[in-house]
């Protein structure tokens, strides 16, 4: 929960007196043309998939809102398995994890379609991995390997092993599998490369950047991988490379925060301007009660505003629901900076329970 002082923060006073021809907001060029309901479940699935893909490509959460609106228009109507998987994917993106689980389990209970079952298993495993529930993720990974063997299933199992004490053998096994299945489809190969990059970074290996660069060479707008790479550059004392990796992505919160930190490190003349824009952006999000990326706000408070107590509040609120390595690292850094032994003990106890170590964590550096 946000502290009262932060929750009350608001942007500049709201202006309500505008000329008739004043442009208040510019909608994305690919926003839906109308509020019309798609003519069939197949048409709706195509539209929702397009909106989710655009949200991932651009980092613009409005596309998630457009997709959510489509589902609300279908409230009370039975949804196909494909639409249930897409609604779960949307819920996952909106951090509504329990709602996502319900839809995905419904698909697994009733569907015999191999593709929908595979997508449901992948998404369920990803949710459990993101929340640090590795004992729950592993059975989904195993089931995926049985029903749809390949690099995505292998990556799933590798992530579970890496985050529970088996990073070195997990990396070796996945790397060997990737070489053996070198003719797998491009999406599966890039998925495996992204996972190899994450495990390599966990092990402190410089090859992490090479894996992530392979992904970006095929998909420059993979924002998750781009942020991983840019953050790796920062942590390894390469702020100029971080600036190059985040160029033209200032509209994406996590990339903009990384860019602002890199700018500060190199004394860039635009550092203060970007920091000011980010503060306005986060203040507005807090004022609206919309805080999908609390991790980004915590990072901004810690590394730009240098307010560790505020950073820790947001980092721990984020960590309560998301426990990927970058979430844990940020919470550890904020707890150390704020000298909060209670939070540190909570984090260390959890890491010990999971047998999890990571070269990116401050205590491992």
pLDDT for res 28: 54
pLDDT digits (tens, 9 = 90+) for 121-158: 999 999 999 999 999 999 999 999 999 999 999 999 99
Task: Specify whether domain 33-149 bears CATH 2.50.20.
Answer: no
Q: Which pair of tokens denotes residue 98? A: 């329990």
Examine the pLDDT at 113 and tell me if it is beyond 60: yes
Examine the pLDDT at 196 and tell me if it is beyond 70: yes
pLDDT for res 290: 64
Which is it for the CA torsion 260, 61, 80, 110, positive or negative? positive
Examine the pLDDT at 364 and tell me if it is beyond 90: no
pLDDT for res 271: 96
pLDDT for res 39: 75
Residue boundaries of the structural domains of the chain:
33-149, 157-220
pLDDT for res 157: 98
pTM of the full structure:
0.87
pLDDT for res 253: 92
pLDDT digits (tens, 9 = 90+) for 20-74: 443 334 445 555 655 567 778 899 999 999 999 998 888 888 899 999 999 998 8
Quick check: 191 and 153 in contact, CB under 8 A? no
Examine the pLDDT at 4 and tell me if it is beyond 50: no
The overall average pLDDT reported for the chain is: 89
Examine the pLDDT at 6 and tell me if it is beyond 80: no
> Secondary structure of the chain in the HEC alphabet?
CCCHHHHCCCCCCCCCCCCCCCCCCCCCCCCCCCCCCCCCHHHHHHHHHHHHHHHHHHCCCHHHHHHHHHHHHCCCCCCCHHHHHHHHHHHHHCCCHHHHHHHHHHHHHHCCCHHHHHHHHHHHHHHHHHCCCHHHHHHHHHHHHHHCCCHHHHHHHHHHHHCCCCHHHHHHHHHHHHHHCCCCCHHHHHHHHHHHHHHHHHCCCCHHHHHHHHHHHHCCCCHHHHHHHHHHHHHCCCHHHHHHHHCCCCCCHHHHHHHHHHHHHCCCCCHHHHHHHHHHHHHHHHHHCCCCCHHHHHHHHHHCCCCHHHHHHHHHHHHCCCCCHHHHHHHHHHHHHHCCHHHHHHHHHHHHHHCCCCCCCHHHC
Residue % of the chain over a pLDDT of 90: 77
Which CA distances in Å does 297 have to 127, 175, 210, 261? 22, 35, 29, 13
Examine the pLDDT at 111 and tell me if it is beyond 70: yes
pLDDT for res 183: 83
Residue with the larger pLDDT of the pair 159 and 16? 159
Examine the pLDDT at 78 and tell me if it is beyond 80: yes
Quick check: 42 and 3 in contact, CB under 8 A? no
pLDDT digits (tens, 9 = 90+) for 197-235: 999 999 999 999 999 999 999 999 999 999 999 999 999
CA dist., res. 255 & res. 334, Å (int)? 19
pLDDT digits (tens, 9 = 90+) for 286-333: 877 666 678 999 999 999 999 999 999 999 999 999 999 999 999 999
């Amino acid at each position: 929960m946000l502290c009262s002082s932060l929750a009350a923060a608001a942007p500049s006073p709201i202006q309500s007196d505008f000329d008739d021809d004043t442009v208040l907001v510019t909608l994305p060029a690919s926003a839906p043309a109308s509020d019309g309901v798609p003519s069939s479940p197949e048409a709706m699935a195509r539209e929702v998939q397009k909106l989710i893909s655009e949200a991932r490509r651009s980092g613009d959460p409005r596309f998630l809102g457009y997709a959510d609106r489509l589902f609300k228009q279908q409230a009370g109507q039975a949804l196909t398995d494909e639409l249930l998987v897409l609604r779960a994917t949307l819920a996952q993106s909106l951090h509504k994890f329990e709602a996502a689980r319900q839809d995905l389990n419904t698909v697994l209970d009733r569907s015999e379609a191999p593709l929908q079952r595979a997508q449901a298993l992948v998404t369920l495993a990803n949710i459990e991995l993101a929340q640090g529930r590795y004992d729950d993720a592993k059975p989904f990974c195993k089931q995926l390997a049985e029903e749809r063997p390949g690099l995505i299933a292998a990556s799933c199992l590798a992530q579970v092993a890496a985050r529970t004490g088996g990073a070195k053998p997990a990396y070796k096994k996945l790397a060997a599998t990737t070489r053996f299945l070198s003719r797998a489809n491009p999406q599966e190969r890039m998925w495996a490369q992204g996972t190899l990059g994450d495990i390599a970074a966990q092990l402190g290996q410089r090859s992490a950047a090479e894996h992530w660069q392979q992904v970006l060479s095929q998909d420059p707008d993979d924002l998750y991988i781009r942020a991983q790479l840019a953050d790796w550059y920062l942590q390894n004392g390469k702020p100029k490379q971080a600036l190059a990796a985040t160029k033209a992505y200032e509209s994406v919160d996590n990339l903009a925060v990384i860019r602002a930190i890199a700018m500060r490190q190199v004394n860039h003349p635009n550092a203060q301007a970007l920091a000011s824009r980010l503060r306005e952006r986060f203040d507005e999000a807090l004022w609206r009660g919309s805080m999908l990326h609390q991790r980004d706000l915590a990072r901004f408070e810690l590394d730009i505003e240098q307010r560790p107590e505020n950073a820790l509040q947001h980092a721990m609120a984020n960590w309560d629901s998301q426990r990927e390595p970058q979430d844990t690292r940020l919470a550890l850094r904020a707890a150390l900076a704020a000298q909060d032994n209670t939070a540190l003990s909570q984090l260390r106890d959890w890491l010990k329970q999971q047998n999890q170590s990571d070269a990116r964590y401050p205590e491992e550096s």
